[in-house]
Amino acid sequence: MQRRVRKQTDGAGDNADAGSESAAASPLPHAARAGRIAGMAILIIAVVTALLATGFRVGFLTDPIGPRALPWLASLLLGMGGAMMIARPGPTPPSIAAPMRGNVSLAIGAFVMYAIVLPLAGFVLSTAFLMAVLARFYGGRWIQGIAAGVIFSGSLWLLFARALGVPLPLGALFAFGG
């Protein structure tokens, strides 16, 4: 009986070793190729961003680094990420389930409508409506989405328009006698 158990254990160990060897020997060539292609695309975007940032000029001295710092930092991070994807591509991520694909499509449509409605309705109203619609797409109730949208857009308006002095679009509906 012990011999039989040993043989099964050895057999399972042999199969596990063979499976791990075959898994290590073939690292999913399609996934590796897709990861490397994405890494090269990201690396190209990083290089283009860095090259375009060299042309940024400001007519007055604001800070020693100038307006190029943020794009250069972004292109550095993108370049490192792209290089890592080329060097060590990971497995292909799982595909999005069909119901989620529909929600993603509806969310993209909502963002397109947001861009169209923003000049007419203004920042606060458009953003509150967008938040409510997105909350509904992803399973929230309308009342929760509207409440979250009003709080979020109102908070952003207070932060940008009042605290930081960044003007946000009022919208043509609310521009009385302007």
CB 149 within 8 A of CB 135: yes
End-to-end CA distance of the chain: 94
pLDDT value at position 41?
93
Model pLDDT for residues 68-115, shown as the tens digit of each residue: 677 888 899 999 999 998 888 776 666 666 667 777 888 899 999 999
Identity of the residue numbered 167? P
pLDDT value at position 79?
93
User: 9-24 burial, b if ≥16 CB within 10 A, otherwise e?
Assistant: eeeeeeeeeeeeeeee
CA distance 75 to 165: 29
More confident residue, 81 or 138: 81
Average pLDDT for the chain: 77
Q: Among the listed ranges 24-28, 55-59, 105-109, which one has the minimum average pLDDT value?
A: 24-28
Max avg pLDDT among 4-8, 132-136, 166-170:
132-136
pLDDT value at position 106?
85
- Average pLDDT of span 112-141: 91
* Radius of gyration for the alpha carbons in the chain, expressed in angstroms and rounded: 27
Identity of the residue numbered 131? M
Which pTM value belongs to this model?
0.50
pLDDT value at position 26?
47
- Length in residues, the chain: 178
